[in-house]
Structure 1
């Protein structure tokens, strides 16, 4: 007959103490790597920002997370042009880089999937705030509307190629006429992205963010955002 060896009281106490020590260490580790979130974005996500103006939106995320090693942020402007257009642009870029962010200049949103670095990456969130080709015609003219529609369509086509399987593309833009004529949801559907959700965009939700006109003599000035929304898209078949 096999005899079961029982543990002494001292052994049990030592075991409990050891387990409690392990749990405490585990809790400390979890605390150190705790996820930090702001609105739809979290420090655990790999985030790509496209078409940034003075990079203040990117910096808002970076400051919230504490670091920005999870962020890649891009702009069509060169660093030299950034300094000419925006009073805080270069300063914002410097802080982003100090926080670990990858900042890339001269990135065209309509061709970004072919970029030598971006083409090797996949992102959980791809963000384009207030896409616009610039003020070449009156805002409500058919030419201006068609140019903006082409911009967002080609952006979505490229973003689709850079998403993780469960990733999301976020496009924020103004509501009402003529912006409703951009038909974001329909454009996305034609290239295999599924419209998931529309949520209000409020600048106050992103401390430090300053949206910019980004074009012409008043490039550094903001424009009214209300009403504006963020349109969220998924891959058409996220199980694929």
Structure 2
């Protein structure tokens, strides 16, 4: 099989904090049923359509920016639950407990349930600042930040993009030291998972470039399916407002991106020079219908 020569592989990545137009994520989405080179129809026999959960029932989890804690609660109340009864979840929010209950009145009962099952519910955790010892002295198999957003700090689009990029960079930097040395979904070190809505302005945040700038690589991405998390409802940073009661963020298109720390020894086995490395990357991506061989973290697991 002939492989197309990818000129884009020689292009230098932009500065991680520079908005990128158009988004690579948007570009990488092929048209279903297409006979073009990006069609994934040839790999359907090896591709599983089942929803992907980026952790196991016994994973040690740290959840950041949980809002009303409905996602945390869905992990233990689903049928069946996603987390083993013997597993303790550490879940956090940036707000104080009174502010959380004021923003999301229904969260009060959820918080009681989580605490009654001895899960760690932590308030006033600002991921952009130095973390307290209650977090920094532990290690986690998986650290999850669903739909990070700084809120409406500015109506200027570029400023909003930059503010959210800075939030994500701080999150990455603070969480890398908290990752375990094992327990990741690839049998390697722990993973960081970020879920974002698809489309603008989220595609312009350059999530993968931000990760690269702090020594992380994206090992896979997949559609976020909110329906597999029973009882989960997406809430806004500003809290619940009556006039927006019918706003259902969980029904919007979204993707989850799984990251791990680079240089764990696996990449060095693929070749000593860039050309050889690219060749091997192209071969290793055939199972996902991807043979473009630029960077493994540019390949999406599903569309």
Against the structure 1 CA distance between its residues 102 and 224, is the aligned structure 2 distance closer, same or farther, given a 3 Å change threshold?
A: closer
The alpha-carbon deviation at position 69 of structure 1 amounts to 3.7
Against the structure 1 CA distance between its residues 181 and 91, is the aligned structure 2 distance closer, same or farther, given a 3 Å change threshold?
A: same
Equivalent residue for 2:110, pick from 88, 92, 95: 92
* 1:101 paired to 2:115: no
Stretches of structure 2 lacking an aligned partner (at least 5 in a row):
1-51, 182-188, 267-303
Q: Distance in 1 between the 2:201 and 2:170 partners?
A: 19
Q: Distance in 2 between the 1:115 and 1:206 partners?
A: 29
For the 8 Å contact 2:63–2:143, the answer to whether it is kept is yes
The alpha-carbon deviation at position 43 of structure 1 amounts to 2.3
For the 8 Å contact 2:220–2:258, the answer to whether it is kept is yes
More strand by share: 1
Equivalent position of 1:41 in the other structure: 55
* 1:118 paired to 2:135: yes
Q: Distance in 1 between the 2:239 and 2:152 partners?
A: 8
For the 8 Å contact 1:68–1:101, the answer to whether it is kept is no
The alpha-carbon deviation at position 48 of structure 1 amounts to 0.2
For the 8 Å contact 2:58–2:87, the answer to whether it is kept is no
Equivalent position of 1:149 in the other structure: 165
The alpha-carbon deviation at position 109 of structure 1 amounts to 1.4
For the 8 Å contact 1:66–1:99, the answer to whether it is kept is no
Larger radius of gyration: 1
Equivalent position of 2:255 in the other structure: 229
Deviates more, 1:222-231 or 1:144-153: 222-231
The alpha-carbon deviation at position 234 of structure 1 amounts to 0.5
- SS of 1:131's partner is coil
The alpha-carbon deviation at position 238 of structure 1 amounts to 3.0
For the 8 Å contact 2:100–2:107, the answer to whether it is kept is yes
For the 8 Å contact 2:144–2:193, the answer to whether it is kept is yes
For the 8 Å contact 1:68–1:99, the answer to whether it is kept is no
Give the alignment's TM-score, normalised by structure 1: 0.78
Equivalent residue for 1:59, pick from 73, 84, 92: 73
Stretches of structure 1 lacking an aligned partner (at least 5 in a row):
1-37
TM-align CA RMSD: 2.2
The alpha-carbon deviation at position 116 of structure 1 amounts to 1.7
Q: Distance in 1 between the 2:240 and 2:106 partners?
A: 16
* 1:137 paired to 2:154: yes
The alpha-carbon deviation at position 111 of structure 1 amounts to 2.5
Against the structure 1 CA distance between its residues 232 and 115, is the aligned structure 2 distance closer, same or farther, given a 3 Å change threshold?
A: same
Q: Distance in 1 between the 2:109 and 2:87 partners?
A: 18
For the 8 Å contact 2:233–2:248, the answer to whether it is kept is no
After superposition, the C-alpha distances for 1:45-92 in whole angstroms (9 at most, x for unaligned) are 100000001000001112213636421000011111111000211111
Deviates more, 1:219-228 or 1:183-192: 219-228
After superposition, the C-alpha distances for 1:151-176 in whole angstroms (9 at most, x for unaligned) are 01110111111101210000001111
Equivalent residue for 2:237, pick from 211, 214, 218: 214
